[in-house]
Structure 1
Amino acid sequence: MQPGATGQDLSPNATLHREAPGARVRVFDPALCCSSGVCGPEPDAALIRFAADLDWLRSSGVPAQRHNLGQDPGPFAAEPLVRRRLGTRGMGCLPMVLVDGEVLTEGRYPTRAELEARLAEQARRTRGKDTATSGEVMP
């Protein structure tokens, strides 16, 4: 049988989504003219890399939202954790990336490896909760 003949998506991205099915990523950017990193006279390599990593996450089926303080300030006020960190650290805490409401990074963008590691950790937690509530014994 050829890969994919079962109708399953066998790509690494599909595996990521299956392993962390409920994961959600939220990015709180400082005020930026654009999130791609290619605007202005000198492109920002970190923004370009991170934009590609978010595209990768989305193509994996992991919901990822991005909020720009200059264009979309409402979510900054509505998210208690972000609001508290802004109150204590000021703008130095941005960018802040949350995975399922927990801080992954603040003051910098995470690497793809950090995103993968946190999503794998979330998947282990989810599997542990599912196993604990199903009455099965965890290994």
Structure 2
Amino acid sequence: MNKIEIFDPAMCCSTGVCGPSVDPELTRVASAVYSLEKKGLNIKRYQLTSNPEKFAENGEITRILNEKGPDALPVVLVNDVLVKVGSYPTDEEFSEWSGVRVEDLNEKPKARLSIDLRQL
């Protein structure tokens, strides 16, 4: 099974899917990552502001940041091999690296909320 690691630029939250204007690309990536995690795949996202140690520990990421700066992010490694710099994986690339069909990459989180308005 492949190990996929995404090194994100600094964002306001762990997925970047927050705030008044949400980038549809970040929504697509968050959905694909969620779907792959639910299927048991080894996929991780690290953010520069919340996981700086992961950037510092990885020689390839450190090299890219030293050469190109933070504008080179996002960076993607598959099995510790650099596969993408400066943009997020397409759904086709996620599918190729994970063996999961493109159609199965858009699973939405299912959460049910139970609110008792009488308590408010």
TM-score w.r.t. length of structure 1: 0.66
2:40 and 2:95 map into 1 onto residues whose CA distance is: 13
After superposition, the C-alpha distances for 1:84-111 in whole angstroms (9 at most, x for unaligned) are 0111111122011111111221111101
After superposition, the C-alpha distances for 1:13-34 in whole angstroms (9 at most, x for unaligned) are xxxxxxxx2x111111111111
Report the Cα offset of residue 79 of structure 1: 0.3
- The question of 1:27 aligning with 2:13 is answered no
Report the RMSD for the aligned CA atoms in angstroms. 1.4
Contact 2:3/2:79 (<8 A) preserved: yes
Give the match's secondary structure for 1:36: coil
Look up the equivalent residue of 2:75 and give its one-letter code: M
Correspondence for 1:38 among 13, 17, 26:
17
- The question of 1:111 aligning with 2:90 is answered yes
Give the match's secondary structure for 1:67: strand
Contact 1:35/1:51 (<8 A) preserved: no
Identity of aligned residues (%): 36
Structure 1's consecutive aligned runs of 4 or more residues displaced over 4 angstroms after TM superposition are none
Give the match's secondary structure for 2:68: helix
TM-score w.r.t. length of structure 2: 0.75
Aligned to 1:95: 74
Give the match's secondary structure for 2:83: strand
The structure with the largest helix share of the pair is 1
Look up the equivalent residue of 1:39 and give its one-letter code: C
When the two structures are aligned, how many residues end up with a matched partner?
Answer: 99
- Structure number with the bigger relative contact order (C-alpha 8 A, sep ≥ 6) is 2
Give the match's secondary structure for 2:20: coil
